[in-house]
Amino acid sequence: MEWFRRWIVEGYSVRQLALQSGHSRPWLYRLIDSFLADTPTTPTLEPQPAQYLLFDGTFLHRPHSIVVLMDGQTHTLVRGQFGVRENSELELRAFFEPMMDKGLQPRSFTVDGNRQVIRALKILWPDAVIQRCLVHIQRQGLSWCRNSPKTPYARRLRQIFLQFTRIDTASKREAFLNLVATWEVRYGAEIAARKETDRVFSDIKRARSMLLRALPDMFYWP
């Protein structure tokens, strides 16, 4: 139990646990799999008053995954479930539909860019706002831009990503959109046209594409 707790709560890798415990990696993998196979029961749902919801999911230990839905105002858990994959619309709908049947009618969902998640939410709650998670976009964008980019377009793009979490008013939003538009006019066509396939430049192209796709759904306020 202790080694599983360290893996899931403290984030130790199996390699680190093997060094700490003296057990082999195969033994630890079997231990982890045995706990993950013991699926907890899903609690009985009651109608939820939550209006602004946060949804995310992750793999704990492939192929085992977990998804959670939280109240964005109280930061309390609405529902979580083990064994649901973010890229499976069928599993997502099976996760969401009991809450819809119990009367859950939120105003908005904040999600990462997973298309299956967005599609499932739009089908079930067509009137809800789908807000892209700024932290997800910022983290990925900064990773693709690197800590110390060498080119002017990458340095300026990195500065754009750094501003995400500072935008909390309509005027700041407009200033940010103008900044992105100015950057796109200056560098966008050049970046799109270039054929280089090296990793650094390819990551800049990914960062640009992600930002432009996410932009329409990045800044909603009640």
Q: What is the pTM of this model?
A: 0.79
In whole angstroms, give the CA distance from residue 219 to residue 207: 18
User: pLDDT tens digits, residue range 158-217?
Assistant: 999 999 989 999 999 999 999 999 999 999 999 999 998 999 999 999 999 999 999 999
Using CA atoms, how far apart are residues 171 and 95, in angstroms rounded to an integer? 38
- Mean confidence (pLDDT) of the chain: 90
Tens of pLDDT, residues 112-135? 999 999 999 999 999 999 999 999
pLDDT digits (tens, 9 = 90+) for 37-91: 886 665 555 556 789 999 999 887 777 788 999 999 888 889 989 889 998 999 9
Of 134, 133, 128, the C-alpha closest to 222 is 128
Return the CATH architecture of domain 52-132.
2-Layer Sandwich (3.30)
Domain boundaries in the chain? 2-37, 52-132, 134-217
